[in-house]
């Protein structure tokens, strides 16, 4: 629950913040989500323009429908690039270099997919791998018999993604790029500490939209322990289940520096393209602004742990 403070001057609400030195109008980023052209013909280009218009950061998915060059040239904005590590490290290195040369400002390394989770809807529907630019960079022949057994996406992931990825590989990635690296998919305090020790520049608390490991915790439920483990050494972001401005507020109160949104962006894109994405972002910004005013927080930095009470707080108070 949100616990507001009263008699605070909230005539002017300032939601602006920074992440890795980049200014944002609000602590909300577009999460890396794949294949935006399944929602709208303009795909990630429309999403990127909407994010730029709202002055928020976007992380482009490695499985985007548009090339990183198309997105980079679509508008002038700061954006990050999501990376998976392929079995062929030369392909991975090539993608990183392309991201650098196209002006992407950080790498979001996703580490919760050594294998693809059991996505029953994809299997039931025998989902095929759509033609997306980065998939075409990885030469692999997935025969029709393999796809007939289930999801083509699962088959592609099995054939291409490097399941041997480990902590030592963070050093390898740092050796091939000057870009800061955020590690996405952290759900424990122990791994958060290891990430800091490995030299990453940020952590994204995420369970991959609950599409990887069944029964994994909701990111918001482990956010606070991860924030405590990191102890402000690097920024901590969180995604998953952010649907309202009050959700953003609660995440910030529990220690997140910013949140990432995925599905809401796709909903807006499917409904009205770039305008729909802008509408979703503006709705969240307006709701956050109102929540901050009603909670007595003129600035983002004024949002503290004292502004929320969790179920754990309640239980401890009864002991």
Asked about 3 being catalytic, the answer comes back as no
Find out whether 117 is annotated in a ligand binding site.
Answer: no
Contacts of 216 (CB under 8 A, 6+ apart): 187, 207, 210
Find out whether 119 is annotated in a ligand binding site.
Answer: yes
Q: Which two tokens stand for residue 191?
A: 């791994």
Q: Cα–Cα distance between 239 and 245 in angstroms, integer?
A: 13
Find out whether 304 is annotated in a ligand binding site.
Answer: no
Q: Give me the catalytic one of 22, 208, 272, 307.
A: 208
Find out whether 241 is annotated in a ligand binding site.
Answer: yes
Find out whether 239 is annotated in a ligand binding site.
Answer: yes
Find out whether 263 is annotated in a ligand binding site.
Answer: yes
Find out whether 61 is annotated in a ligand binding site.
Answer: yes
Find out whether 262 is annotated in a ligand binding site.
Answer: yes
Find out whether 315 is annotated in a ligand binding site.
Answer: no
SS3 labels along 107-147: EEEECCCCCCCCCHHHHHCCCCCCCCHHHHCCCCCCCHHHH
Give burial (CB, 10 Å; 0-12/13-18/19+) of 318. exposed
Q: Cα–Cα distance between 281 and 100 in angstroms, integer?
A: 27
Beta bridge pairs of residue 236: 203
Annotated binding site for glyoxylate: 84, 119, 208, 211
> Which residues are known catalytic residues?
208
Annotated binding site: 61, 82, 84, 110, 119, 184, 206, 208, 211, 239-243, 262-263
Annotated binding site for FMN: 61, 82, 110, 184, 206, 239-243, 262-263
């Amino acid at each position: 629950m949100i616990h507001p403070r009263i008699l605070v001057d909230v005539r002017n609400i300032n939601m602006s913040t920074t992440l890795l030195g980049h200014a944002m109008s609000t602590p909300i980023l577009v999460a890396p989500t794949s294949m935006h052209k399944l929602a709208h013909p303009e795909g990630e280009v429309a999403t990127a323009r909407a994010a730029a218009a709202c002055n928020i950061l976007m992380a482009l998915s490695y499985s985007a429908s548009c090339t990183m060059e198309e997105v980079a040239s679509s508008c002038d904005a700061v954006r990050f690039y999501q990376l998976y590590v392929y079995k062929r490290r030369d392909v991975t290195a090539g993608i990183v270099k392309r991201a650098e040369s196209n002006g992407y400002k950080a790498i979001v390394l996703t580490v919760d997919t050594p294998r693809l989770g059991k996505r029953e809807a994809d299997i039931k529907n025998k989902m095929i791998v759509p033609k997306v630019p980065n998939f075409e960079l990885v030469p692999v022949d997935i025969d029709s018999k393999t796809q007939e057994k289930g999801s083509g996406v699962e088959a592609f992931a099995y054939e291409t993604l490097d399941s041997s990825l480990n902590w030592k590989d963070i050093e390898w990635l740092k050796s091939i790029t000057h870009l800061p690296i955020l590690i996405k998919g952290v759900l424990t305090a122990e791994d958060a500490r290891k990430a800091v020790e490995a030299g990453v520049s940020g952590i994204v608390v995420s369970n991959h939209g609950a599409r990887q490991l069944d029964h994994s915790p909701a990111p918001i439920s482990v956010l606070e322990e991860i924030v405590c483990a990191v102890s402000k050494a690097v920024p901590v972001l969180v995604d998953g289940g952010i649907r309202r401005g009050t959700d953003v507020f609660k995440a910030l109160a529990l220690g997140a520096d910013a949140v990432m949104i995925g599905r809401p962006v796709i909903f807006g894109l499917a409904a009205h393209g770039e305008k729909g994405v802008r509408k979703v972002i503006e709705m969240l910004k307006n709701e956050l602004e109102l929540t901050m005013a009603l909670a007595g927080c003129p600035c983002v930095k004024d949002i503290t742990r004292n502004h929320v009470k969790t179920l754990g707080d309640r239980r401890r108070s009864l002991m």
